[in-house]
Amino acid sequence: MTSSADPGERAAGRAPRRALVAGSVGNFIEWYEFGVYGFFATIIAANFFTPQGGSELEGLVKTYASFGIAFFFRPIGAAVFGRVGDRIGRRPTLILVLLMMTAATTLIGALPTYDALGVAAPWLLTLLRILQGLSAGGEFGGAVSIMTEFAPPGRRGLYGAWQSFTVALGLLAGAGAAAVLATVMSEESLADWGWRLPFLLTLPIGLVALWLRLRLEETPFFRAAADGEATSAPERVADPREMAGAIVMGAARIMGWAAAGYTFLVVMPSYLQATLNATFQQALVATVVANAGFALSILPAGLLSDRIGRRPVMLTGAALVVVLAFPLLNVLQDPDSSAWVQGAAVFVAGVVVGLMAGPGPAMLAEMFPTRVRYTGLGLAYALSNAVFSGCAGLIITKVIEHTGEVDIPAYYVMVTCAISVVALFTLRGEHHRGALPGAARPGKDAGREEETPCG
């Protein structure tokens, strides 16, 4: 007979560490690829989007447009795979999206360039980016569901933070791969074929990730929902309008994380090269330092949010971006600033983003009950990232091109983080202490959920 105890309590004995590794490995691959694409944006622009005689900035804009289009397919992936994951399970859905993601990324490394294939080359690249967008949209909701549903009581913030931590590791791995290639290869070789190597490396990484996910169990929360057990439901999403409202609110709460994270951690190399005339190596070093600050702050931020709440930690990060955006950017623009001072500036930028990214996954998971968690948190994340991450490079580059205003990145992150500050004030301060919203009892009204005392 199945126990009616809170599935979160039973999870403590069901290999939650395995769930962390298997859940986070897909995020690592996803953001490794996004990082590589961002770090090699100028080379990709020259190979795929700049015909003979086209300007470098024009090619860069088209590269970011292809990048942004892929992000707009993430909500579609979140809706489709989220629905599948809420119906048949987290495990099989995450295996499927991993296979799609690995195949699309590997094929980018083998794709002929504009010179070899003509106008079909940028279209095929964009198609592969769309497939990545669909798979990435299905990845986040399932990965965070896996991590938080397996998390022991009082550790959801820390477990969810691993999703963001592997994002940082993926970006650092992408930056590291680009930096190594830029060091050991000539500029001509790197632009000709060297840029392909990091994409092709995805294949062996993906095979290891597949092995890990095949060994993964289904989450206790999903099994409880499938069995019709009652779990604690401190916050309910009872109908489509409430669901839509929760998705929009979740997207607003992480808007600053999405915009500032991608601006500081991925768009920065191209901005430094195209606008501030930095070398490729200098831009990569700055990005590695920013991502190091990001990685170092994520897990402590998630752990702190388990103790004092998601709201104060995320509010602090968003507010600091609003206050520090201009001073940090001005340090990078100042030719008299030393390398150490500029390094400190980008490191701090990474740290404040980590304060939002650490508690963010658990905060989203706590907004939705089991039966719609994969779909709800995946859509909130995908919508926010589609608009404010995927379009960051395109918006910043295009506005700078038309206005000549080099402070656009600061304006962009300030406005988005200010909106997140307002949205985060609506978050309940004690929400992190309760159990995850759970599954309805059989026979109860379909639009209502049982609430039991938090354990």
Q: Which helix (H) or strand (E) holds 387?
A: helix 370-388
Residue 275 near residue 176 (C-beta atoms within 8 A) = no
Residue 298 near residue 160 (C-beta atoms within 8 A) = no
Residue 10 scores a pLDDT above 80: no
**pLDDT at 363 (0 to 100):** 95
Helices 74-88, 370-388: crossing angle, 10 deg rounding: 170
Could you read off the pLDDT of 303-348 as tens digits, one per residue? Answer: 999 999 999 999 999 999 999 998 988 888 887 878 788 888 889 9
- Mean pLDDT on 204-219: 90
Residue given tokens 């669909």 in the structure block: 134
Contacts of 121 (CB under 8 A, 6+ apart): 47, 48, 111, 112, 113, 114
Residue 184 or residue 4, greater confidence: 184
In terms of Cα–Cα distance, which of 42, 57, 349, 29 is closest to 182? 42
Contacts of 296 (CB under 8 A, 6+ apart): 350, 351, 354
Helical residues (DSSP H) of 151-279, grouped into ranges? 156-184, 187-189, 196-200, 202-214, 220-227, 240-253, 255-262, 268-274
List C-alpha distances in Å: 245 to 237, 374, 389, 421, 435: 9, 16, 21, 18, 21
Q: What percent of the chain has pLDDT over 70?
A: 84
Contacts of 148 (CB under 8 A, 6+ apart): 156, 159, 160, 361, 362, 365, 366, 436
**pLDDT at 51 (0 to 100):** 60
Residue 278 near residue 134 (C-beta atoms within 8 A) = no
User: How would you classify residue 101: left for phi > 0, otherwise alpha for psi between -120 and 50, otherwise beta?
Assistant: alpha
Spatial separation of the C-alpha atoms in residues 147 and 95, rounded to whole Å:
15
For the chain, give the longest Cα–Cα distance. Answer: 72
Spatial separation of the C-alpha atoms in residues 342 and 330, rounded to whole Å:
10
Tokens read off for 187: 């500029």
- Residue 108 sits at φ, ψ, to 5 deg, of -60, -40
Contacts of 406 (CB under 8 A, 6+ apart): 275, 276, 333, 400
Domains of the chain from N-terminus onward: 8-226+235-429 (1.20.1250.20)
Q: How confident is the model at residue 57 (pLDDT cuts 50, 70, 90)?
A: low
Spatial separation of the C-alpha atoms in residues 329 and 332, rounded to whole Å:
5
Could you read off the pLDDT of 274-303 as tens digits, one per residue? Answer: 667 777 777 778 878 888 999 999 999 999
**pLDDT at 365 (0 to 100):** 93
Contacts of 117 (CB under 8 A, 6+ apart): 124
**pLDDT at 230 (0 to 100):** 45
Residue 286 corresponds to which amino acid? A
**pLDDT at 35 (0 to 100):** 76
**pLDDT at 403 (0 to 100):** 83
Spatial separation of the C-alpha atoms in residues 61 and 34, rounded to whole Å:
16
**pLDDT at 348 (0 to 100):** 93
Residue 413 scores a pLDDT above 50: yes
Q: How confident is the model at residue 242 (pLDDT cuts 50, 70, 90)?
A: confident
Residue 419 or residue 399, greater confidence: 419
For every residue of 392-453, DSSP letters joined together read: HHHHHHHHHHHH--TTHHHHHHHHHHHHHHHHHTTS-TTGGGSPPP-PPPTTS-TT------
In terms of Cα–Cα distance, which of 153, 302, 164, 158 is closest to 220? 153
Which three-class secondary structure state does DSSP give residue 85? helix
**pLDDT at 450 (0 to 100):** 37
Q: Highest mean pLDDT range out of 46-55, 74-83, 230-239?
A: 74-83
Mean pLDDT of all residues in the chain?
A: 82
Q: How confident is the model at residue 205 (pLDDT cuts 50, 70, 90)?
A: very high
Which class for 195: exposed (0-12), middle (13-18), buried (19 or more C-beta within 10 A)?
Answer: buried
Q: Highest mean pLDDT range out of 22-36, 95-109, 123-137?
A: 95-109
Which three-class secondary structure state does DSSP give residue 221? helix
Q: How confident is the model at residue 102 (pLDDT cuts 50, 70, 90)?
A: very high
Least confident span in 10-19, 187-196, 219-228: 10-19
**pLDDT at 114 (0 to 100):** 84
User: How would you classify residue 338: left for phi > 0, otherwise alpha for psi between -120 and 50, otherwise beta?
Assistant: beta
Residue 350 scores a pLDDT above 80: yes
Could you read off the pLDDT of 137-165 as tens digits, one per residue? Answer: 999 999 999 999 988 888 999 999 999 99
